Amino acid sequence: MNKRQARYFAIGSTLVATLIFLGLTVDSHRQFPKLTNAQNITPAVTLGKDVWHKNNCINCHTLFGEGAYYAPDLTKIAQQRGAPYLRAFLKDPSKFYDEQRHRRLMPRQDLSDADIDGLIAFLDWVSRVDNQDWPPRPITVTGSGTGAGKPTLEAAVAGTSTPAAGSTADASAKDPVALGERVFRTAAPACTACHSLTAGADMAGPSLAGIATRAQQTLASPGYKGSATDLEAFIRESITQPSAHLVEGTMYSADGVSFMPNTYDKDLTPEQVNHLAAYLATFK
């Protein structure tokens, strides 16, 4: 290559690289409306975004992994928790977490009902932005508080706790317990977003460690309000009609309505619900 050829080569390759760069930039911008569901940005979403900024939620929380790391990432929180839970939580976080057990608190934000509705609409919109499946698992803070009086920063990735007796079996092998274990992790929203399988580690829902034994006691107690007569029926009922019988505690329900999503009845097949019941029945 002589000097002149080298110059043409340099100019030519710079041009090609520039064109590729511009093309990809234009292509990214073309995809934004679809990835962000731009058509779903309603006035409520915009209002919620303003409330989010006004209250500096980002000083403690992250969205899309960006922000402060004091409190859980909220990118998928609307899908993981559902509106009834979020409404009650945002009204009064102290009903849900106590300083003794969780070591870290969300201060009350004194939000109006309209602000809360806006925030829920905003967080719902955020949860539907196409992040190409990030985060791969819910990032929740159990806040079980091992730090000596100080807020602990460790974010526990839900769903990594004790596997059930039969869960080592191959899920493709039609073992209902193994199949149930899989549904437990993959249902939308995932059961693991709210339930741990470790005794005492209550998250947005009660720990399901020992659920089989507890369910038998509930069934036998005079306070039981549902219509199940055996263990697996009780678990099925808990999943498909969460409000049929309520676990006590202000962080689990309000006005007789469970904060557990009531969408599994239509989103899971009866077979999947049976598998979940078989799986959870192994936690004695």
Told to check if 274 binds ligand HEC by CB under 6 A, we report: no
Stretches 2-10, 30-38, 124-132, 201-209: which one binds ligand HEC (CB under 6 A)?
201-209
CA of 41: how far to CAs of 15, 19, 123, 126, in Å?
A: 38, 33, 11, 10
Burial 166-205 (b: 16+ CB within 10 A, else e): bbebeeeeebbbbbbbbbbeebebbbbbbbbbbeebbbbb
Tokens 């110059």 belong to residue? 7
Contact map string, positions 10 to 49, toward ligand HEC, x by CB under 6 A: ----------------------------------------
For ligand HEC, the closer CB: 89 or 125: 89
Q: Considering only residues 49, 61, 76, 275, which one is a binding residue for ligand HEC as defined by CB under 6 A?
A: 61
CA of 104: how far to CAs of 14, 61, 143, 154, 272, in Å?
A: 54, 13, 7, 12, 37
Number of residues near ligand HEC (by CB under 6 A): 56
Report the distance separating Cα 230 and Cα 209, nearest Å: 18
Q: Considering only residues 43, 107, 222, 256, which one is a binding residue for ligand HEC as defined by CB under 6 A?
A: 107
Report the distance separating Cα 68 and Cα 58, nearest Å: 6
Stretches 11-19, 37-45, 160-168, 199-207: which one binds ligand HEC (CB under 6 A)?
199-207
For ligand HEC, the closer CB: 8 or 69: 69
CA of 33: how far to CAs of 30, 75, 82, in Å?
A: 7, 18, 25
- Report the interface residues with ligand HEC, using CB under 6 A: 55-57, 59-61, 70-72, 74, 77, 81-82, 85-86, 89, 97, 102, 104-107, 109, 119, 140-141, 143, 184, 187, 189, 191, 193-195, 204-206, 211, 214-215, 218, 235, 238-239, 242, 246-247, 252-253, 258-261, 264, 276, 280
